[in-house]
Structure 1
Amino acid sequence: MASLVRAAPAPCPDGLCLRTRASLSPQQVGLELGPLLSHGSSIFGPGDPRWANATARYQEYPAPDFTVAVLVAQESDVAVVVKYANSNSLPLYAVKRRYALPISQARFKGFEVDMQLLTGIDIHPSRGSAAFQGGTYDRQVMDTLWEHDYEGTTGSCDCGFYRMISDNIRCFTSHADLFWGMRGAGHSFGIVTSFEMNIYPRQFDSWYYKIYVFTQDTLEPLFEQLNRLNGNGTQPVELAVQYGLYTLDPTVSATEAIIWWTFAYAGTQSEAQLYLTPFDELNPLSTIDGNVQFPQVPDVQGTGVHNTTCGKGLSRITGPAGLQVYNTTTQRQPYGLFNYNINEYPALNASGVVIEGYSVAGVRRVESDSSTYPFRDDYLLCKQSTITYKPNPRPDPIAIQWAEDNQRLWNKGQPTRKPHAYVNYASGTESLEETYGHEPWRLRWLRKLKAQDDPEGRFSY
């Protein structure tokens, strides 16, 4: 089928002849908006064979209701689409790989602005930075930087060395207040078509990884040892990432979860062994280990772009909590709840309780008020993020209750701290304080920015 952009005539010189039409057809959008976009852009609707792939999401419960997909080929196209949508009072939602989690997305109905073609990367060695277009993604960035002997903050594996991604962004706006707000709440303020971020000469040619499988009788000793390793936020910087999950492995048991845990160390096996020997002594059911280059770390730890963890088309319910230490009693309770739910509701047996711990030395060096991100004293992330099942309304209430129960248990296990929900894992049901910080000044400033930069609430999903 020919793209509506390329096939459409141009009856409206400015593409804005008609006003405020919430039910615009893809064909009409193509006629009006198509001539204003660059070559290579496309506009299509549900009847197009590209629609299913263009709207497939990591989180399908519940998905946004897209009526038209606009695939842009140039950064400048995004501003044109925004102007067209605003002039016609049409909601719009920018995507690149469609991995957003919050259930609040269900409130959206309107345009999908797809930026997946905007994948340009321009490295500036003299500045120690690179410019990235808004459609770039972790694996692409990791591979490209590695090929040029650089690395950067691309997710979980190197935040200890270089802080968080948002801490390394140099610019995407000339407005200082908005720059502060975008680093931690950017989804509430606009669409980023490109940004400049710090990059660093790569330090380690080889990373050592080790994966353990434990049975439930090891749960308390395991988390006690993990607390020693974490050391209240002092986990060694080279031991950049360790995380695990409660998950069902039918080859071990059809009714009782295993505890799967993985470590990634920037360096050699002999160096890593100093920290891993206590876990070897817990008599794991099995282990797998090896050495890989940094871009392959997600692949071997199960979070690579081609791993099933990243698959689309399933319902996934979240319920995160930020911790400083593991309460071993609390950790036992979600384990029991997992076993109960997968046995009571077999449709949910592909789920997993995800528990993450990182080296946070770099994160802690940054002042909390320097950006929107509020929880720099959270050293551990617990997220019931993969209550996973084929889209089906019947298990929805059960899955939501399960996630809320885990969230409540984790927060109850740290009674002296207020609930925290890491924004990228949040379900959309948490309070603003739980997601953006409990300090009154922080929310006052965010509300002021919202009223100033998005007074009509165009970015509210």
Structure 2
Amino acid sequence: MSSPTPLLSRWRRIDSVATVLWWSLSAICQANATLQWLSPTAELADRLSPGALIYSPGSDGFTQATSRWSVYEAPNISLVVVPSVENDVAETVKYANQNNLPFIAVSGGHGAIITESRVQNGIEIWMNQLNTVEIDGYVARVDGGALTKTVSHALWQAGKQTVLASGDIKTIDRTCDLWWAMQGAGHNFGIVTSVSVKIYDIQYPDWAYEMFTFTGDKVEGLFDNLNVHLLRNGWPPVNIVNFAIFKRVPEIDVKPIIYLWIFQEGATSVDSAYSKPFHHLGPSATGVGSGTYLDVPRWLGWDSDAPSCQNSGLANTRFPIDIRSYNVQAVRKAYDLFTDVTQKIPELNGSRFLFEGYSLQGVKAVPGESTAYAFREDNLLVAPVISWTPSGPDIARKATDFGKRLRQIIYEGTGRSELHSYVNYAFGDETPQNWYGYERQRQQRLLGLKNNYDPDRKFSFYAPIA
């Protein structure tokens, strides 16, 4: 009996409160493939469109396509296919299945979860050419390979924005039983080739920010103020976003410094009601600016040209935890550990610790049981990002231990028995409960859909359900 064909999907979602755009990193389970399959690429090429590309190891195209934000525990790729039309994805999947080969779909190459390393001698489907954004009134069709910058810029130029808050090709909408699973766990079921989302006229084109630099003695005051003035008992202001980062900057201080950004939508300057408490802490430096939403990544240093977003040969691992509020004592303990380890192990001193606070009204307006995305009650995303230059197993072990210890401190500070871990940042040693929720009914529903649509576990390398 032949294996079932993995699912390719067009995901249509045009009337939801909070829309999630994602172009998943999906993979199939490891096959006992040999390199013998590399020679008959002509067979595959004959099945693809004229605009599709195939890259073999050693070519410039292969190097570019397989470069990743994190090289630690990366998938092992032996051939790259670059589809130019949707059907090229389907034909590549069919070819891989017929030859018992693993495959993985890649867009920006920022998936860093270590479960991807189980792909050996695999085919990479690089979605690079499937990157268009088509706008028709109040609906945008976004190709599966379109990166965030492409989407946001295309919509902004049209005066629009989203709501923040098998080889078979199928259209998935709310009438399909996969609709629930695609919203939070879709990488377990297929490769998204396009998504249609409802879009809206831009109401508030102006954005403003204030940036603060604090030394380590301000940890307690800073995170207490975040709890009181910006988190506001789990209902932060709808037009305010904040980020904080621990980072070593030797020219400023011998210990890690803390950057804080406050962003405000619909303003040319941040309202003092939000920024004044942080000025009273006595920052060592401040900065202000204004522009549009398109400027926000650049202000933060997370735009596509920023050093932190480059595929520069580093190992980058994240250890995320979702929490409801800051336990200030736990944050102090984590800061002290971050200081100690990055001083004693210089190879890890490029690491940083992220604290992300978004407005959540749209997220919380969606009933938790209505999608596979869990933990809508959480308010903050916290994640150590441990970075190093690969040089052997010893430093990798130390880096992993460092990240786990930092997360454990924050976890113990929550006082909860459950560890909630944001799947897009996951390290890979977490459980399906950590990623998709602890409710038995939720896990059973995911498993039932998995058994129905992917019984052979073709898509089980990125945060697998089972």
TM-score by length of 1: 0.89
Give the conservation status (yes or no) of the 8 Å contact 1:172–1:196.
no
Partner of 1:68 in structure 2?
Answer: 79
Deviations 1:157-210 (A, max 9, x none): xx3xxx2xxxxxxx7457622111011011111100011012111112210011
Q: Secondary structure at the match of 2:46?
A: helix
Partner of 2:94 in structure 1?
Answer: 83
**Partner Cα distance (1:25, 1:293) in 2:** 53
Partner of 1:207 in structure 2?
Answer: 207
**Partner Cα distance (1:72, 1:121) in 2:** 16
**Partner Cα distance (1:306, 1:26) in 2:** 37
The gaps in structure 1 that reach 5 residues or longer are 1-19, 154-158, 164-170
Deviations 1:344-384 (A, max 9, x none): 11011111011111110111111001110011011011101
**Partner Cα distance (1:427, 1:178) in 2:** 26
Deviations 1:304-346 (A, max 9, x none): 1111121112101111111111001100111111111111110
Partner of 2:183 in structure 1?
Answer: 183
Partner of 1:387 in structure 2?
Answer: 386
Give the conservation status (yes or no) of the 8 Å contact 1:227–1:325.
yes
Give the conservation status (yes or no) of the 8 Å contact 2:75–2:118.
yes
**Partner Cα distance (1:44, 1:270) in 2:** 49
Instruction: With a CA cutoff of 8 Å and minimum separation of 6, indicate the structure with the bigger relative contact order.
Output: 2
Q: Secondary structure at the match of 2:81?
A: strand
TM-score by length of 2: 0.88
Pairwise CA distance, 1:269: 4.3
**Partner Cα distance (1:378, 1:151) in 2:** 25
For residue 104 of structure 1, what is the amino acid of its counterpart? T
Pairwise CA distance, 1:460: 1.1
Pairwise CA distance, 1:144: 0.4
Would the alpha carbon gap of residues 85 and 221 (structure 1) be closer, same or farther in structure 2, given more than 3 Å must change? same
**Partner Cα distance (2:151, 2:248) in 1:** 33
Partner of 2:14 in structure 1?
Answer: none
Give the conservation status (yes or no) of the 8 Å contact 2:374–2:436.
yes
Deviations 1:285-308 (A, max 9, x none): 101110011111111111111111
Q: Secondary structure at the match of 1:264?
A: strand
Partner of 1:263 in structure 2?
Answer: 262
Partner of 2:426 in structure 1?
Answer: 426
Query: Could you say what the CA RMSD is over the residues aligned between the two structures, in angstroms?
Result: 1.5
**Partner Cα distance (2:372, 2:303) in 1:** 28
Q: Secondary structure at the match of 1:397?
A: helix
For residue 330 of structure 2, what is the amino acid of its counterpart? T
**Partner Cα distance (1:269, 1:282) in 2:** 23
Partner of 2:56 in structure 1?
Answer: 45
Alignment of 1:292 with 2:291, yes or no, is yes
Q: Secondary structure at the match of 1:347?
A: helix
Pairwise CA distance, 1:26: 7.0
**Partner Cα distance (1:231, 1:274) in 2:** 13
**Partner Cα distance (1:271, 1:320) in 2:** 29
Deviations 1:403-434 (A, max 9, x none): 11111111100114521001111111011111
For residue 306 of structure 1, what is the amino acid of its counterpart? D
Give the conservation status (yes or no) of the 8 Å contact 1:21–1:88.
no
Partner of 1:367 in structure 2?
Answer: 367
**Partner Cα distance (1:91, 1:419) in 2:** 31
**Partner Cα distance (1:270, 1:290) in 2:** 7
User: Residues 130-149 of structure 1: matches in 2 within 5 Å?
Assistant: 130-149=140-159
Q: Aligned residues, how many? A: 422
Partner of 2:124 in structure 1?
Answer: 112
Alignment of 1:22 with 2:23, yes or no, is no
**Partner Cα distance (2:128, 2:361) in 1:** 33
**Partner Cα distance (1:328, 1:174) in 2:** 42
Q: After alignment, is 243-252 or 389-398 more displaced?
A: 389-398
User: Residues 380-459 of structure 1: matches in 2 within 5 Å?
Assistant: 380-384=380-384, 386-393=385-392, 394-416=394-416, 418-459=418-459
Alignment of 1:247 with 2:247, yes or no, is yes
Give the conservation status (yes or no) of the 8 Å contact 1:246–1:354.
yes
For residue 117 of structure 1, what is the amino acid of its counterpart? Q
**Partner Cα distance (2:123, 2:100) in 1:** 11
**Partner Cα distance (1:348, 1:116) in 2:** 32
For residue 242 of structure 1, what is the amino acid of its counterpart? N
For residue 33 of structure 2, what is the amino acid of its counterpart? A
Pairwise CA distance, 1:124: 1.7
**Partner Cα distance (1:315, 1:63) in 2:** 9
Partner of 2:108 in structure 1?
Answer: 97
Give the conservation status (yes or no) of the 8 Å contact 1:233–1:361.
no
For residue 144 of structure 1, what is the amino acid of its counterpart? A
**Partner Cα distance (1:26, 1:352) in 2:** 42
Give the conservation status (yes or no) of the 8 Å contact 2:74–2:112.
no
Partner of 1:230 in structure 2?
Answer: 231
The gaps in structure 2 that reach 5 residues or longer are 1-30, 166-170, 462-466
Give the conservation status (yes or no) of the 8 Å contact 1:60–1:314.
yes
For residue 280 of structure 2, what is the amino acid of its counterpart? E
Q: Secondary structure at the match of 2:128?
A: coil
Taking only the aligned residue pairs, the percentage that are identical comes to: 34
Would the alpha carbon gap of residues 409 and 33 (structure 1) be closer, same or farther in structure 2, given more than 3 Å must change? same
**Partner Cα distance (2:117, 2:66) in 1:** 14
